[in-house]
Chain A
Amino acid sequence: MNSFLEFEKPLADIEGKLKELKHLAEDGDVDVSSEIAKLETRSDLLLRETYEDLGAWQKTQVARHADRPHYLDYVEGLIEDFTTLAGDRGFGEDKAILGGLGRFRGRSVMVIGQEKGSNTTDRIKHNFGMAQPEGYRKAVRLMKLAEKNNIPVITFVDTAGAHPGIEAEERGQAEAIARSIDTGLSLKVPFISIVIGEGGSGGAIALAAGNTVLMLEHAIYSVITPEGCASILWRSGDKARDAAEAMKLTAQDLLELGVIDKIIKEPLGGAHRGAAETITATGDALAEALDNLVEKDGETLRLERRQKFLDMGRAGIA
């Protein structure tokens, strides 16, 4: 792994040493195999210890890690015959939210998600996963299309928030998000949402009003970014770490609060250390959630989804 996060520095040091030793071993003069074994054990242990007990701010960094699998990686790994459907039919094609038809383990599904991009060019192309109103309007169109054809809807959430800009406001960013929430809540087909990285604010809930909401172990989901919260309540962006801790934005906190239904375990050291493993685990969790929903009739799905959100905050909170 090339890019280490700030809190992973001790890990980086050990791995640096390991690399050196391995070089030495290749030269063949000295036998360092026992040293290497020792260091590898230490490295594993340290990784385990670090990741067993990540704080909210550390999780925020992991959730935003550039090497973490993004939406299109999941599409590639899980969806066959993926066929992109573009445009909101009113103004344009947003590239922060992408969607289309595909097959998931044999079933037709409608897949919609936020793509952050994995390199600078892609990140700019996808506007860092921050959608314009057209993105949400396209999502509404695709959700309705899925409903008409009795196809389950699967959304992948990974955004810092909807795009804040003059044009976005002009074209009704707020209305587009509101309509997307409304449409998601009214669907008479199974609707599963997966928070894979960053679930930021209204831009996230617009795609996350599902019957079942899954969340990756080190993903975050919150009403505002920790930086935004810090700048408003603490009047200082430097307090993002404090804000992250106070906001209860980890998957573990959200499961306890009844906001999400299930946590998908990430490989040791986070999804960025094992993309394939993460994507398979996500597929398994998705298949299980889907199995639990597909037999239900449309009205039941809609009413159960509604009841789930109505119950939030009414029970189970001290």
Chain B
Amino acid sequence: MNWLTNFVRPKIRALVRKQDDRETLWEKCPSCGQMIFHRDLDAAMRVCPHCDHHMRLNARQRLEQLLDDGTIERIAVPDVPADPLKFRDVKKYTDRLKDARAKTSEDEAMVVASGTMNGLGIITCVQNFAFMGGSMGLAAGEAMLAGAERAVADSKPLIIFAAAGGARMQEGILSLMQMPRTTIAVEMVQEAGLPYIVVLTDPTTGGVTASYAMIGDIHIAEPGALIGFAGQRVIQDTIREKLPDGFQRAEYLLEHGMIDMVVHRHELRDTLSRIVDMMMNRDESRIIKSLAALPPAVDAPSEEKTDADDASDAAPVETDS
């Protein structure tokens, strides 16, 4: 024990740690490769100020962007059997779940919440791609059903944010059965005459697209989002040709009549509010314009443009076909 261990070493440690923290304060845009200061990125709703790339959001970020401050109420989802097939690939399914829970601080890949959006009461289900690729298993089925039941009970619209590679293979056939089960959830909302709106975010593929994500009253996609049924690798392996530019991107789906609109994240909340307000067909608008202004334009950070070539948002997305 001397002044070296008591005083100098902690100081050095603190200095080093600060350096590390500073690293994470800057995030690299996966599309253009530019470094963005975290506050600027948050202010821009995690849309790259340089190239407009819409970065993926986790469930918490999505709820915070969508719902009015202080109105977010998480809706409990019934427990489901853990690991019904006792599934094991190179890793045990239960371990994969543990890892995902530790990584995301969420219980499962779909979060259900109620709250207000510009003053309008809504129920929302948000898929979290960071949690095992957002994959749809028993828990997602129960989450959709919980959201639908609450929407019907409260006579509120249901808005879902889809983001998933597809079905959760570790639950085998039971994950496939979530396609009819989530479809039933949608039917319940639609039978009650309530709006069911789907926001397709990057990426939405496989069994999720082929069930609740494609039977909305209205389909909205975020710019550039990958949306499709079969995975690109599967298609490429089948046809052995190069896929066309922009294939399975939001704009491509708009062109092919599969979605109603592509909406920039900065406009999303107001667009959703306007649609919900009109679909609820009340005598007059109930929108309370939020005070939150659109984020200001952000100046480029001092760093020079980094090598953009190796940056790609084409994270491998696995889907069933």
Residues of chain A at the chain B interface (Cβ within 8 Å): 161-162, 164-166, 168-175, 177-179, 181-182, 184-186, 201-206, 209, 221-224, 228-229, 232-235, 242-243, 246-249, 253-254, 257, 259, 306, 309-310, 312-313, 317-318
User: Dominant SS at the A interface?
Assistant: helix
Name the B residues within 8 Å of A168 (CB-CB): 229-230
Q: How far is the CB of B23 from chain A (nearest CB, A)?
A: 30
Do A247 and B85 contact each other (CB < 8 Å), given the known contacts A174-B210, A222-B172? yes
CB-nearest residue of chain A to B91? A233
Measured CA separation A140–B89 after assembly (Å): 37
Measured CA separation A229–B231 after assembly (Å): 13
Stretch at the interface among B14-22, B178-186, B284-292: B178-186
Q: B187 near A: Cβ within 8 Å?
A: yes
User: Would B187 and A182 count as touching, CB distance under 8 A?
Assistant: yes
User: Would B177 and A224 count as touching, CB distance under 8 A?
Assistant: no
Q: B80 near A: Cβ within 8 Å?
A: yes
Q: How far is the CB of B260 from chain A (nearest CB, A)?
A: 13
Measured CA separation A221–B235 after assembly (Å): 22
Contact pick for B167, options A164, A166, A224, CB 8 Å: A224
Q: B258 near A: Cβ within 8 Å?
A: yes
User: Would B258 and A201 count as touching, CB distance under 8 A?
Assistant: no
Measured CA separation A221–B177 after assembly (Å): 11
Name the A residues within 8 Å of B85 (CB-CB): 246-248
Measured CA separation A124–B141 after assembly (Å): 37
Contact pick for B247, options A166, A172, A243, A259, CB 8 Å: A166
User: Would B173 and A223 count as touching, CB distance under 8 A?
Assistant: yes
Name the A residues within 8 Å of B258 (CB-CB): 172, 175
User: Would B180 and A181 count as touching, CB distance under 8 A?
Assistant: yes
Chain B 224-253 against A: per-residue CB contact (8 Å), 1 yes, 0 no? Answer: 000011110011001101011001100000
User: Would A317 and B81 count as touching, CB distance under 8 A?
Assistant: yes
User: Would A201 and B321 count as touching, CB distance under 8 A?
Assistant: yes
Residues of chain B at the chain A interface (Cβ within 8 Å): 80-81, 84-85, 87-90, 138, 141, 145, 167, 169-177, 179-181, 183-184, 186-187, 206-207, 209-215, 228-231, 234-235, 238-239, 241, 243-244, 247-248, 256-258, 318, 320-321
Name the B residues within 8 Å of A246 (CB-CB): 85, 87-89, 172
User: Would A259 and B145 count as touching, CB distance under 8 A?
Assistant: no
Q: How far is the CB of B192 from chain A (nearest CB, A)?
A: 14
Contact pick for B180, options A185, A228, A232, CB 8 Å: A185
Contact pick for B211, options A161, A181, A184, A229, CB 8 Å: A181
Q: How far is the CB of B112 from chain A (nearest CB, A)?
A: 17
Name the A residues within 8 Å of B243 (CB-CB): 166
Measured CA separation A318–B169 after assembly (Å): 18
User: Would A247 and B234 count as touching, CB distance under 8 A?
Assistant: no
Name the A residues within 8 Å of B167 (CB-CB): 201, 223-224
Name the A residues within 8 Å of B180 (CB-CB): 181, 184-185, 205, 209, 309
Name the A residues within 8 Å of B89 (CB-CB): 233-234, 242-243, 246
Q: How far is the CB of B187 from chain A (nearest CB, A)?
A: 7
Measured CA separation A254–B85 after assembly (Å): 11
Measured CA separation A204–B167 after assembly (Å): 14
Q: How far is the CB of B67 from chain A (nearest CB, A)?
A: 27
Contact pick for A205, options B80, B141, B176, CB 8 Å: B176
> Can you list 24 A-B contacts with CB-CB less than 8 angstroms, sorted by A residue number?
A166-B243, A168-B229, A168-B230, A170-B256, A173-B229, A174-B210, A179-B215, A182-B215, A222-B173, A223-B167, A223-B175, A233-B89, A233-B169, A233-B170, A246-B172, A247-B85, A248-B173, A257-B173, A257-B174, A309-B181, A312-B174, A312-B177, A313-B81, A313-B181
